[in-house]
Amino acid sequence: MQRKRTLAQQDMLVGFALILPSFLIILGISLQPILSTLYLSLFEVPRGINLQNTFVGLGNYISLLSEPIFWATIGRTFYFTVISVGIELVLGLAIAQLIHAHPPGWQFLRTSLIIPWAVPTIVNGTMWRWIYNADYGALNGLLFQLGLIDKYIPWLTRPDMAMNLVILADIWHSVPFIALILQAALATLPPDLEEAASVDGATAIQYFWFIRLPLLRPAILVALIIRTVEAFRAFDLIYVITNGGPANGTVTISFLTYLEMFSFGHAGRGSALSFLISLFTLTLAFIYIRMLYRPEEKQ
């Protein structure tokens, strides 16, 4: 007996068949690792060949959350994220508007803007480590020749200063990304809005604040999601420029995870940390996406 399928059922089947490949890929490269990390985080995993894992339940999470180093690390991670993404957004928006105003040579500006962003982070980190070198780095050389300092400054030897300098390196690397996204968004705004606003007597500031910024909101949110998640997981710059020093002053959550997982061989604790990072970034993405889609809901 031949079963009959309705048209809707057939459509659904085709739909499933079509999403199957991407579903398998997502399963393989994203869901499976997250789930196995979660699984591993419930065990104490000894380092070695043919060793048995011991189930510890939430033991890894409890011990991590009770350690002051964890909370100090979380604090530094938030500081890094908020300061770097905040400055990047303001600078990125300013540069995007500058390019959008099409000053002479704006195309050159736009192209050269890509360079810092195109440099791999590890190369970027190595470059800044050299720039910050106290004895033969470019930063001291430049400031000294400009007469701004009369003595070389030992950068990277105070925890707070080292953190801010790593943030500076991150800003240099990531501002172009935000600027390019926002510049592309600006280019799609209808030009007649500006004319209409000026006819209605709006000042430049009013136009920017009440018309341009709200229209840019989706693009800003996209840039923010990507950059916040990236900054929260920052590792390579820190690894190369300071190795977490001085005095753990630049140890962020990803660096701590790396130490636990790879240097100390605590795969269980490392997995717990990784899972906490995933959880946090997922929450963050969720909040951003809710914010992003709110205007459509109102309509």
Chain contacts with other proteins (rule: CB under 8 A): 5, 10, 13-14, 17, 20-21, 24, 46-51, 133-136, 154-159, 162, 242-249, 258-259, 262-265
CB of 45 to other proteins, least distance (A): 10
Q: Cβ of residue 146: shortest distance to other proteins, in angstroms?
A: 20
- Shortest separation between residue 242's beta carbon and other proteins, angstroms: 7
Q: Which one, of 35, 3, 14, 29, lies nearest residue 275 by Cα?
A: 35
**Would you give the DSSP letter of residue 142?**
H
CB of 21 to other proteins, least distance (A): 7
- CB closer to other proteins, 255 vs 275: 255
Smallest gap from residue 150 Cβ to other proteins (A): 12
Choose between 185 and 256: whose C-beta lies nearer to other proteins.
256
Asked if 199 contacts 140 with a C-beta cutoff of 8 angstroms, the reply is: no
Tokens linked to 112: 């050269």
Q: Which is nearer to other proteins, 263 or 299 (CB)?
A: 263
CA Rg, the chain, in Å? 25
> Which CB, 177 or 258, lies closer to other proteins?
258
Residues 6 or more apart whose Cβ sits within 8 Å of residue 250: 76, 159, 162, 163, 166, 238, 241, 242, 244
Q: Which is nearer to other proteins, 45 or 99 (CB)?
A: 45
DSSP 64-126: HHT-HHHHHHHHHHHHHHHHHHHHHHHHHHHHHHHHHT--TTHHHHHHHHHHHHHS-HHHHHH
